[in-house]
Amino acid sequence: MSYNVLVPGTGSAPVWVSVVLHGIFPLAAALDWLVIGDREPQLWRHLWVVLPYPLTWLAVTLYRGVTDGWVPYGFLLPQRGTASILLHVTGLLCLLVAAGIVVWAASRTRGAWRPVRVTADDESSSPTR
């Protein structure tokens, strides 16, 4: 669970937005990933792909925090100090990579339901009507 779900109403967005964005969507994605077995195993050497978007978001957010004073989470406020921001950001990035590791490991599971895949070879071997 995320900060905004555990402490709703702490941001500038309505509470329902925080609950949907930080609670319902991640839960739905995790359930889809674990239950539906329609994916190829992720290659461990591609784990880095979990970082570019959050790092870009973080850079833009911190820049905006310095230029106009607004950030979406209180722990990113510039007045909290560089050490506090660095500690929070490091912790969040470690959690993100840990979540990526869980997803990469889960990609090796079959899933509770595995849909039948139809390939071009299957179609070519079936009799024509």
On whether both 108 and 45 belong to a single domain, the answer is yes
On whether both 59 and 90 belong to a single domain, the answer is yes
**Helical (H) or strand (E) element with 122:** helix 120-125
Interval 83-97: pLDDT, tens: 999 999 999 999 999
On whether both 77 and 106 belong to a single domain, the answer is yes
User: Is the pTM higher than 0.75?
Assistant: no
DSSP 3-state assignment of 14?
A: coil
On whether both 67 and 7 belong to a single domain, the answer is no
Looking at every residue in the chain, the average pLDDT score rounds to: 81
| Domain of residue 53, residue span | 40-112
Which whole number is the average pLDDT over 110-128?
A: 61
Angle CA(104)–CA(118)–CA(34) in degrees, nearest 5?
25
Judge whether 100 lies within some domain. yes
On whether both 59 and 97 belong to a single domain, the answer is yes
Interval 2-36: pLDDT, tens: 454 455 555 667 888 888 888 899 899 888 877 87
Judge whether 124 lies within some domain. no
User: How would residue 70 be classed by pLDDT, with cut points 50, 70 and 90?
Assistant: confident
pLDDT at 56 over 90: yes
Buried b (16+ CB within 10 A) or exposed e, 22-58: bbeeeeeeeeebeeeeeeeebeeeeeeebeeeeeeeb
Cβ within 8 Å of residue 36, ≥6 positions away: 111, 112, 113, 114, 115
pLDDT at 116 over 80: no
Listed residue (98, 108, 95) closest to 33, CA to CA: 108
The secondary structure of 26-42 as a DSSP string is: HHHHHHHHHHB--SPPP
Number of structural domains, the chain? 2
More confident position, 61 or 126: 61
Judge whether 125 lies within some domain. no
How much is the pLDDT for 129?
46
On whether both 21 and 49 belong to a single domain, the answer is no
Question: 56: which 2 tokens?
Answer: 């870009």
